[in-house]
Structure 1
Amino acid sequence: MMTRIRARLLASALLAGGAAFATPALAQVAPQEAVNDGNADIVDQTDAAQTAAEDVVVTGSRIARPDLELSSPVTVVGAEEIALRAPASVEQVLRQLPGVAPGINPAVNNGANGVASFNFRNLGTNRNLVLLNSRRVVPSTIAGVVDLNVIPVALIERSDLLTGGAVTNYGADAIAGVINFITRRDFSGFEANALYGVTERGDGQSFRLDLTTGANFDDGRGNVVLGVSYTDTRPVLQGNRDIGTVSRASTFAGTTSPARGTPQGSNTAVPASVFFPIQNSRFDPASGTIVAGLSDYNFNPLNYFQTPLDRWSVYGSGHYEITSGVEAFTEALFTRSTVVQNLAPTGTFTEQFQVPLNNQFLTPAQRTQLCAAANVPNAAGVFPLGAACPAAIAAGTEITGIFARRFVESGPRVGTFRTNLFQVTAGFRGSITESLNWEVFGQYGEAERRSVNTNTALRSRVQQALRGCPTGSTAGCVPINIFGAEGTLSQASLAFVGVPTTQTTNTEFADAQAIISGDLGFSSPLADSPIGIAVGAEYRRNAASQLGDLPNQIPGEILGAGGAFLTIDGEIESTEFFGELNAPLITDRPFFHDLTLEAGVRYSDFSTTGGNTTYKVGGSWSPIEAVKFRGLYTRAVRSPNVSELFSPVNTVLNNLAVDPCQGTVAQVQARGANNVALCTEQLNRVGLPASALGSIPAPIAGQINVTSDGNENLDPERATTITAGVVLQPRSIIPGLSITADWYRIRVRGAITTPTVGDILNGCFSQASPADTRCQLIFRNPLTGGLSGSAATTQGVFLLTSNQGFLETEGVDFNLSYTRDFGAVRFSGFVNGNYTDKSRFQSNPNSFIRECTGFYSVSCDPPQPEFSLNARATLGFEGVDVSLLWRHISELEYEPRTGANATTQPAAGTVGSFGSSNPASVVESYRQIDEFNYFDLNIGFDLTDALRLNFLVENLLDKDPPEVGNTIGSTSFNSGNTYPSVYDALGRRFTASARLRF
C-alpha cells in the first residue's frame, strides 16, 4: 500500500513540475538473435520468453508483433556495454565500433562545429540517420546532421545499428544505415550515476552525473520518467603531449628521407613573413631590413587534443492508458551544451593590404627595399618606382603588400559554441483488432547553435591602423606595428583590431506520422505465424538557416577565418507513404524450420526534388532452428539537404601539402614534364608573368583556398544496398553461443558530391593540356601565384557540387557472443569485427574511381582500416566482475599512386589510388601505420544491492599514437602530427564510476 502511495506521489510531483513525457512507439525489444548480435548485453532464455509475449517493433521495421525477426543485420550495443566504457557522450562508444568512421568529435579541434556526429560505413555524416526510439531527432546543422551530445546516455537501454532497408522504413538520409537509441520504458524508482575520469598525466578530467527517476501510477496504467544529466569535460592541449609539441611536415625535399618530419608550422609568424612585393622573405628586427627566407610559427601547442564540453540535458517521457486499448504518450528532451575550440593566435595571414611607404614602423632600409620591389599603378599603367622612391616614400605612396604577421600578443583564438536544443513528441496509440495496432504522433524541435569567436582581428581595422588611422577611421583607431619583433603589438592596437564576432545556425524540424501495424490474423497454408504488415503516412519539414554578423559576411574580413559565413535560409517539405510486409511462408517443416519473405516500399514527394520511390525485398531461410540464412536488397533514394541545395558560392580552406607549382623552376619541372607549361598558363590567367614561376610559395600551414557552392538543380542520389548473411545459434550443442556473419555492398550513383583537391590538381597535372577542364578550375593568388591568400582575391581550387559522383563500400560484419555459467563463475564475451573490402569514390565520370580501403591521405580521410575488431571477455563472481576489452585496428599506409607512372593517374572510370603527394616525397616513417591494439580493463563491485562501483583503465598499456606529421591528411582529422580521432592521443586514462539504484 505504501509503495503504491509513494509511486502516486512521485508521479504527481513529476507531472506537476511541467515536464513533458513520452515513451517509445511500442515496447522495443530486439529478438534474442538480434540482441546477441554484436556488442550486445546477453539475455537468457527466461528473458527471451518474457519478451515473446509482447508486441515489439524491431529496428528496421514498422511492424508490431511478438515474434518478428528481420533479414537485416543489426548490431546492438547494450546499456551494460555503454556503462563499461564510461563515456562522456555516446559518440565516444560509437566511434570505436568496427565499420564506423570518426565524425566530428572531441578530438577534432580545427574544424569542429560544436557537434558530435556519426559516420557509418565512412559514407559521410549526411548519409546515416540518427533515431531516438525509432523516431527522428532534430538536426543541429544545415546539412541535417544530428548532434550525438543530445542523446541521454543514462537512459539508453540499447543502441541498434542497422545497415540494410533503413531508407524504406525511415526515409531519406539513411543510405548507409541508422543508429537507433532505445530508451528505458516503464522505469520505476531512482537511479544516480556518477563518473570521474582523468588521464595519467593529470589532465583531461571528465565528470558526468545522471539522475533518473520514474514511477508507475494509477495501478500500472501509466508511467513517467525524468532524467537529468550534467557533463563536464576538460581540455587537453597538444603541447601537453610529446607528439604534439612541434608541428612537423609530412613531406620532405631532396632525395633522402629524414628520420621524422622537420618542424614546419605556419609562415604567418613573428617576425612577419613577406610574400609581396618581395617574395619569400621576412622582416629582420635585428638589422632593420628584409632578408631572404620565411618565418615559421609552431601552432601545435595551443590546439586541443580534447575539446572541452559543458552539457546539461533533461529528458522526460510518459504514457497513460486512457481507456482499454488507447494510450497517450509524450516525450521531450532539452540539451544545452558548450564546446570550445582553441586555435593559435590570429594574424594577417596572406591577406593583402595597402601600406604607405612612410609608415612610422618601417625602417628607412625596409621602406627602400619595399619601394624598389613595388609596382604602383598610375594613369599610364603600372610601373616600378625606381628612381622615384625617395619622393614616393616622402609622399607616403601606398604599395600593395602581403605581410604574414602572427598576433602572438593577443593569445589564442577561442571559438565558443553554445547550443540550445529541444524536441517534443506527443501521440496516441491503440488497437484496431487483437492483432492490428494504430499509432499517430507528431514531433517538433528546434536547435540554435551560436558561435562567439574572440581574439580575432578585422581586416578593415588592420588596414586603417596600417595607414596610420587617417581621417574617417573607426573611432578608437590606434596605429599597429606588424613589422617588428614579438611584443611590438600594443594592447591598444590589439583592442582596436580585435572585435568578437558571432555566427548563428538555426534548425527546425516537424514531423507527423500515422501508422497501422501488426498481423493480418491469417498465415500461409504452410506456416503457423501470421503475415505481418505496416502501412503509414508521414509529413516532414526541415528548415535551416545560418547568419553571421557583418564581419562574418565579408570575405576575408575576419583574418584567418578561412572564408565568409554567408547567409543561408532554406526549407524542405516532404509527404511520404510507406508499406511493409513480413510473411512467414513455411514454418516447422523438414528443411524449412522457417522461410520468410520481407518487402517494403516508400513513396516520397519532396518540395525541392519531386517524387521518388524506394523499396526493399528480402527474406530469411532456416533449414533447422540453429541455422538461418538472410538477405535483403534495397533501392534507396536520398534527396539533397538544405546545405547541398542552398549554400552560396564561398571560398574556404582545404588541405594540400605540396603545390605542384611551388619552389624553383627546377623543382617544378622535376614533379612532371608538363608542369612548367601548366603552371605558366595558370599564372597568366590571373595576370602574372611567366617569370613569377620559381618563387611561388608553398601552401601556408598545409592549407589552401577552395571555392565551393550549393546547387539548387541537384537531383536525388540513388543507392542500392545488398546484404547477405548467416546466423548460427546451436543452443542444443553449445548453449549461449551466437555467431553471425553478414556481407554488405552499398553503391550510390548520381551521388551528391564535390571533387577532392587531389581530383582537380592531380587530374590537371597528370596530363599535358592547359585547356583541360580540371586545370580551368584552378585560380591562383594574383600577387604570389600560390593557392593561399585572401578569400576576396584568391579562389583557389573550385570544388563544385553535382550529381556526378559515385560511392561504393563493401565488406563483411561478423559477430560472436557466448555466455556460460561455470559453477559460481559466469563468463560472457563477444567478438565484433568488420572487414572492409572496398571504400571507393569517384567525383565525376571523367575521373578515376579512388580506392581508399587501408589508406590515408588528404583524399582518403578519415582513414578506413581494412580490418577492425572489438572483443570483450567478462568474468563475474559473487558481485565482482572483471572485464577486458580489446580494440584492434589493422595497419594503414599512405595512399599510393597506381597510375601508369609516378605522375600519371589512373584512367577515367578505372579503380586506383593517387596520393595527394607523391609517396616518395612523404617521410619514410610516415608512409605506414602499423596495426594498433588497445586494451581497456574494467573492474566492478556490487557493494550492496543498491550500490555498484566500477573502475576503468583505458589504453591499459599506455600506447602512444602513430606519428605521421601535420600535412598528410585534412586539418580536421590529421592534427597534432597524428590522427587523434582514430588513435588515442591522451594516453592511459582512469575512470571511477558509481551507480546507486533503489
Structure 2
Amino acid sequence: MYALTSAHTVSAQTAEPKPSEKAPIETGEITVTATRVVRDGYKAPTPTSVIGAVEIANKAPANIADLVNQIPSMFGSATPLNAVAGVSGGQSGINTLNLRNLGPNRTLVLLDGQRIAASTLTGWVDVNNLPQALVKRVDVVTGGASAGWGSDAVAGVVNFVLDKDFTGLKGEVSGGLTTYGDNGDYKVSLTWGSGFAGGRGHILLSAEDAHSNGITGVPRSWARTAKLLGTNPAYAAGNGQPQFLTTFTGFATATPGGIITSGPAKGTYFGAGGIPLRYNYGTVSGNFMQGGQNDAYDFASQAGDLAPRLDRKNIFFRTSFDLSDHVQIFGQASYGQAHSDENALAFAGFNFFTINPVTNAFLPASVAAAAGTTPFTLGSYNQDYGSVIALTRRSTRRFVAGLNGDFNALGSNWSWDAYGQTTTNDIYVESYQFNLANLKAAVDAVRNPTTGAIQCASVATNPNCVPYNVFGIGVNSPAALAYVAGRPWGRTKLTQDVFAANLHGTPFSDWAGPISMAAGIEHRREAVSGSNDPLSNTNGWRSGNQHATSGSYQVTEGYLELVVPLLKDQFLGKSMDLNGAVRQTDYSLSGAVTTWKAGLTYSPIDDITFRITRSRDIRAPNLSDLFAVGATATSGGLFDTVTGTNAGPRVLTVTSGTTNLKPEVANSLNLGVVVRPRFLPGFEASVDYYRIDINNSIFTTSTQQIIDQCAQGSSQACAAIIRDGSGAITQVNVVPINLAKQLNRGIDFEASYRRHLSVAPFIDGTLTIRGLATHFLQNLINNGITTPTDNVGTNSDGVGGVVMQSLPRWKYQASINWDQGPLSLGFTLRGVSDGVLNTSYISCASACPTATPAHPTIDDNHIPGAIYFDSNFKYTVSKRLEVFAVVQNLLNTDPVATAYGPSVGSNPLAISPNLYDVLGRTFRFGVRFKM
C-alpha cells in the first residue's frame, strides 16, 4: 500500500481478496483496521493514519518503531535513546509506542488484530519483537477504541499488518553510522514464503539480526553548553528578583576525586594521585554554582552513555492449511531476544561520605591538620569506580494456533476466527553497584598500630575488608574496587495466555443498505514471577536493588459492534452511517466495567465527509500497579522542604503495588472533516479535534511531592517518610492510587496529494506530497496532591526535581517523493515548536512578582524548537535487486540543551530525545533482493 494515501478516507477492514480478484491499487481506497466490522466502503468515524509498504521501503528505518514514532500524534515513546540511565526497570533498549503522550500502557499494540503481550512489568510493548521484514502496513487508530479492540486502548490502537501470503525469497543488508563515526549499526534480514499441497497450504519463515554499537559517554560539543536551574543568591521575597536562574552550570559539592563540603577544610578537592587542591568557588546555590571552576567538571562528563549498545535477534514462523474451501487452520511461532549494555550514570554522591579526619589513614596530613577533629562531609563522582553499568537481557517466546473460515447464513456470508495464544517474556537485569555495607567498612580506613599498614577499622570482625580511598583519582587498587563493588541482579517472567473468537457478517439490511456486525469474546491471564540476589532484599546496594514480583489476574471480555447505514444516495446527502460498539470486561481483581463507542459519518456530497465519535474507554491496573515491589536510591537529588535543607545523603524510595486499584475510565470525543475535492484528483485532507478526559487515573506520587506535601501539613505524607536519629530522611514509601485526572485535547491535520506528471521525456513520473501535524491544546494533569499542571508547551523532560514529559504545542512532518522508473527520491521536513522549561514558571528578569510554590519566577523560561531535514534515495537495479540510502538530520542540527534543577540526581544532561535529535547527521545504506 502506498503510505501517502490518506488513511482518513480509507475503508474499514475487509476480507482478503480471492485469487481471482484484482487487489486494490495503492492509489485508491485501502483496507485498514479502524474497526472490527468487516464492511466494504465504510468510512471509519475514528481517524486512522497509515504507514504503507512503500514508505517503509523508502525510509528504510533501522527499526520500524523509529518510523511510526515520527507520526505527530505519537509522542513520548520510550526508545533506546531516552531510556538510558535506567538501572533496574528493564527498559533499556526498548522501543514502545505512545499515542497522545498518554503513556505507552494506554496505547494498545496489535499484530494482525491480535493483542501483543507486554514486555515490561509496566505494560509497555516492545516493537523490537515483531517480524519487521514481513510488516506490509501499520494502521494507527487515534482516539478511544476500547469497546472495539479491548482494554488499554485509551489513546488508540497501533496494528501491524503482516504480508501473510508472501511467496519467494527476499532479504536486506543495511548499515549506518553518524557523521561523527559512532553508533555504527547493521541489520540483516531474510524472509522465505512458499505454498504447498497444491496451494492449499502456505508457509512463512523470517529472521532478522540487528546490532548497534551505541555511543559511550556524550562526545558532542553541544553537551558542554548544558545549564542548570539554580536558586538566585540575590533573591528575596518581594525584591523583584527572579527566584531561579538558568546560568548555574557547575557542581559545588562533587568532583571526580572528591571535595570536602563542610568544616574548616571545605573547598579542598583531590586530583590525580590524591593531590589536595583548592577549589575555586563561584556563586554557590545548593549543590551548584556559577563561575569559578564550574566548567572544570561539566555535566556531560558525569552523564551516562548517549546511546546504549544493543543486539536483537528475531525469528518468525507461520503456516496455514485449508482444511476445506471454508475452513483454514494456522499456527505461528516466534522468538526474539534483545541485549543492551550501557554506562547508565556516574557514581555521583553530593555530601555522600562522612569522614573522621582524626582516624582516616588516607587523608593527607596537611588536610587532616586543616580539618581539625570534627567529622566532615565529602562529595564525589568516584571516578576510580567508574560508571554504573546496566545490562538488560530480554527474550520473548510467542505461540499462536487457530482456525478461521466462513459460512453462509441468513442470506449472507459470515466470517469467523478463533485462536489461542501464549507469550512468555523473560527479563534479566544486572548492574555494577556499590555494596553499601562493604563501602562503609572500606571507607573507614585506619593504620595498624603495629605495622603502620592501612586497614579497615573493622578488620577484627571483617578480615576480608579491603580499605577504599575516596581522596583522589587513580588511588585505588583493583582489590579495593572489587571489594566495594557488586552486581545486583533480578529476573522477571511475564506470561500472557489468550483465547479469543470473533464473528463478522451482514445479517440484515435496512432502507440504506446492509447492516454489518462483529461480535466476539476474549479471555486472558496475565502473570508475573521473579527472583533476585539476596542483598537486594535488604536494599543493600547503592541503587539497582532488585525485588522479586509475583501475582496474576484474569480478564474476560465480550463485545458487539454494529454499522447501520442511515442514508444512501438521497437528496439529503450521499451517505450516512452509524457505528456503535459495546464491550463488557470482567477483571478478577477489580470487577466488571462496560465500555462503549458511538460514531457517525455523514457525506452531504462526494467531496466532503463529517465524522463524530464518542466513546468510553478503560485502562486496567497493570502488573506493576498491582504487584510491584521496588526500591530506588537518590543521592543529593532531593530537597527536604520540612527542614529547608538538602535531603540525603541517600534517600531510598520504596514502591509497592496494591490490588485495591480500579480501572481508569476515559471519556473521548472526536470531531472531524475529510475533504476529497473532485476538481483536484489525488488530493485529500482531514482535520480532527479530539478530547480525552481520564478519571481515576492511576498515579504514583513522586518522592519529592510526598516530602512537599508533608511540609504542607499532610499527615498521610509524613507517615510515608522515614528519618534517622538526626532527623535526615532515609526512606520514602510510595503506593499507586486512583486519584489523578487528566484532560488531553488537540487537533490532528493531514493532507496528501498524488499525481502523475509528464512534463518532458526526462520528467515523467509520480509526485507524492504528504503533510501531518498535531496541535496539542491541553494536557492538564490533576493528581489531587499538587497544583494542576498543563504541560503542553513544555520542551524539557524535567525541572524542579520532578520529572515531566515534554509535550510541544506543535509536532509536524511534511514529505515529498518523486518516483520515475527505477528511481525514487524523497525529502522530509519534521520538527517541533518553541516551548518553555516549565509552564508553571513566570519568566522575568526584573520587577518580578513574588514567587509562589505553584508559580516560581525564572530569568529565562524559553526553549527553542527544532526543524530537521531528511532525505531518502532508492534505485531498482533489476527486478531482483535494489539499493537505497537514507540521511537523517541533513544539516546536522544540534539539540537544545535545557536547564535542569534546582535539584538533580547523577545524570544531569537535560536533553529531551523525544523532541530533539541527539545523534546528529546519520547515514544509512543498504541493498534489498527478492527472488
TM-score (norm 2): 0.85
The answer to whether the Cα contact below 8 Å between 2:423 and 2:495 also exists between their aligned partners in 1 is: yes
2: CA distance, partners of 1:735 / 1:107: 41
- Alignment equivalent of 2:919, drawn from 986, 989, 992: 986
Structure holding more helix per residue: 1
1:199–1:289 distance in 2 versus 1, CA, 3 Å: closer
User: Is this contact kept in 2: 1:79–1:157, CA < 8 A?
Assistant: yes
Kindly tell me: are residues 876 and 126 of structure 1, through their superposed partners in 2, closer, same or farther at Cα, counting changes over 3 Å? same
Corresponding residue for 1:538?
522
Question: What's 1:346 paired with?
Answer: 347
Cα separation, 1, equivalents of 2:148 and 2:669: 16
Q: Distance in 2 between matches of 1:279 and 1:617?
A: 72
Q: 1:825-836 alignment to 2 at 5 Å?
A: 825-836=765-776
Task: For 1:66 and 1:29, locate their aligned partners in 2 and report how far apart those are by CA, in whole Å.
Answer: 19
What is the aligned counterpart of 1:952 among 882, 886, 894?
Answer: 886
Match of 1:929 among 854, 859, 863: 863
Contact 1:101 1:122 in 2 (8 A): yes
Residue type at the aligned position of 2:896: P
Question: 1:300 maps to which residue?
Answer: 300
In structure 1, give the amino acid aligned to 2:886. Answer: L
Q: What secondary structure sits across from 1:854 in the alignment?
A: coil
d(CA) in 2 for partners of 1:183, 1:338: 25
- Is this contact kept in 2: 1:424–1:443, CA < 8 A? yes
What CA distance in whole angstroms lies between the structure 2 residues aligned with 1:259 and 1:804? Answer: 34
Partner of 2:563: 582
Q: Is the 8 A contact 2:339 2:391 kept in 1?
A: yes
Change (3 A) 1:901 1:719: farther
- Gap regions ≥5 residues in structure 1: 1-27, 39-45, 375-400, 662-678, 684-692, 787-792, 907-913
What SS does the aligned partner of 1:118 have? coil
TM alignment of 1:954-969, pairs within 5 A = 954-967=888-901
Mapped to 2, the partners of 1:298 and 1:344 lie a distance apart of 14
User: Aligned pair 1:748/2:694, yes or no?
Assistant: yes
Match of 1:851 among 790, 797, 804: 790
- Partners in 1 of 2:51 and 2:522 — Cα distance? 29
Cα displacement (A) at 1:697: 4.2
Q: What is the SS of the residue equivalent to 1:373?
A: coil
d(CA) in 1 for partners of 2:276, 2:909: 34
User: What is the rounded CA distance, in whole Å, between the counterparts of 1:119 and 1:154 in structure 2?
Assistant: 22
What amino acid sits opposite 1:218 in the alignment? A
Over the matched positions of the two proteins, sequence identity in percent amounts to 25
Partner of 2:627 in structure 1? Answer: 646
Aligned residue type for 1:740: S
What is the distance in 2 between the residues matched to 1:970 and 1:616? 44
CA distance in 1, matches of 2:915, 2:481: 38
CA distance in 2, matches of 1:198, 1:157: 26
Q: Give the alignment partner of residue 61 of structure 2, picking from 73, 87, 104.
A: 87
**Matched position secondary structure for 1:102:** coil
Shift of 1:745: 0.5
Cα distance in 2 between the residues matched to 1:100 and 1:322: 42
How many aligned positions are there? 868
CA 1:919 to 1:118, structure 2 compared with 1: closer, same or farther past 3 Å?
Answer: farther
Map residues 45-124 of structure 1 onto 2, 5 A cutoff: 50-51=23-24, 58-108=32-82, 109-111=84-86, 112-124=91-103
User: Does the Cα contact within 8 Å between 2:601 and 2:610 map onto a contact in 1?
Assistant: yes
Cα distance 1:508–1:773, how it changes in 2: closer, same or farther (>3 A)? same
1:224 aligned to 2:210?
no
How far off its partner does 1:91 sit?
A: 2.3
Partner of 1:675: none
Q: Is it true that 1:34 corresponds to 2:7 in the alignment?
A: yes
**Does the CA contact (< 8 Å) of 2:515 and 2:565 recur in 1?**
yes
Tell me what 1:666 maps to: none
Q: C-alpha offsets along residues 950-985 of structure 1, whole Å, 9 cap, x if unaligned? A: 12111111111112134489979x963422332112
CA distance in 1, matches of 2:347, 2:150: 44
Aligned to 1:568: 549
Letter in 2 for 1:838: Q
- Cα deviation for residue 79 of structure 1 reads 2.4
Quick one: structure 1 residues 31 and 346, their matched pair in 2 at CA, closer, same or farther if it must change by over 3 Å? closer
Determine the structure 2 residue equivalent to 1:443. Answer: 421
Letter in 1 for 2:427: R
Structure 1 residues 610 and 448, CA gap change in structure 2 (3 angstroms): same
The SS at the match of 2:105 is coil
Instruction: Letter of the 1:226 partner, please give it.
Output: L
The CA deviation at 1:415 is 1.2
SS at match of 2:911: coil
Could you tell me which of 795, 801, 811 is aligned with 2:731?
A: 795
Give the corresponding residue for 1:395. none
- Deviation for aligned residue 1:652: 4.2
Residue type at the aligned position of 1:818: Y
TM-score (norm 1): 0.80
Q: Distance between the aligned counterparts of 1:984 and 1:847, measured in 2? A: 32
Q: Is the 8 A contact 1:64 1:518 kept in 2?
A: yes
C-alpha deviation, 1:238, in angstroms? 4.4
* C-alpha contact 2:2 2:53 (8 A) present in aligned 1: no
Assess, with a 3 A threshold, how the Cα gap between structure 1 residues 272 and 518 changes in structure 2: closer, same or farther: same
Match of 2:845 in 1: none
3-state SS, counterpart of residue 104 of structure 2: coil
More strand by percentage? 2
Structure 1 position 148, deviation (Å) = 1.7
> 1:285-684 counterparts in 2 under 5 A?
286=275, 298=298, 300-301=300-301, 303-346=304-347, 358-363=359-364, 372-373=373-374, 403-433=378-408, 434-454=412-432, 456-467=433-444, 468-469=455-456, 470-471=458-459, 476-482=464-470, 484-520=471-507, 522-525=508-511, 527-528=512-513, 530-555=514-539, 557-559=540-542, 561=543, 564-648=545-629, 650-653=631-634, 659=639, 682-683=642-643
CA distance in 1, matches of 2:46, 2:915: 28
Report what 2:753 is aligned to.
818
For residues 558 and 299 of structure 1, what CA distance do their matches in structure 2 show?
24
Q: Which residue of 2 aligns with 1:997?
A: 930
User: Is contact 1:209–1:229 with CA below 8 Å preserved after alignment?
Assistant: yes
Query: For the Cα contact (< 8 Å) 1:727–1:739, is it kept in 2?
Result: yes
Matching residue of 1:11: none
Pairing 1:880–2:826 present: no
Distance 2:337 2:280 in 1: 52
Deviations 1:475-532 (A, max 9, x none): 74322222x2212211111122222232222211110001111211x3112x13x111
Q: Secondary structure at the match of 1:174?
A: coil
Specify which of 269, 294, 298 is matched with residue 255 of structure 2.
269
Contact 1:570 1:642 survives alignment (8 Å)? yes
Determine the C-alpha separation between the residues in 2 that align with 1:55 and 1:814: 19
> Aligned partners of 2:805 and 2:541: how far apart in 1?
28
Compare 974-983 and 155-164 and name the one that shifted more.
Answer: 974-983
State the partner residue of 2:16: none
Structure 1 residue identity aligned to 2:429: S
Quick one: structure 1 residues 37 and 934, their matched pair in 2 at CA, closer, same or farther if it must change by over 3 Å? farther
Q: Is the 8 A contact 1:142 1:545 kept in 2?
A: no
Amino acid at match of 1:82: I
Report the secondary structure of 2:54's partner residue. helix
CA displacement at 1:544 relative to structure 2: 1.9
CA contact (8 A) 1:275 1:784 kept: no
Q: What is the alpha-carbon distance in structure 2 between the residues aligned to residue 581 and residue 29 of structure 1?
A: 29
The letter of the residue matching 1:817 is: S
* 2:147 aligned counterpart, secondary structure: helix
Do the aligned partners of residues 567 and 848 (structure 1) sit closer, same or farther apart at CA in structure 2, a change above 3 Å counting?
A: same
Q: What per-residue deviation string (whole Å, max 9, x for no partner) do you get for residues 270-311 of structure 1?
A: 433456788976565556999999898546236222222111
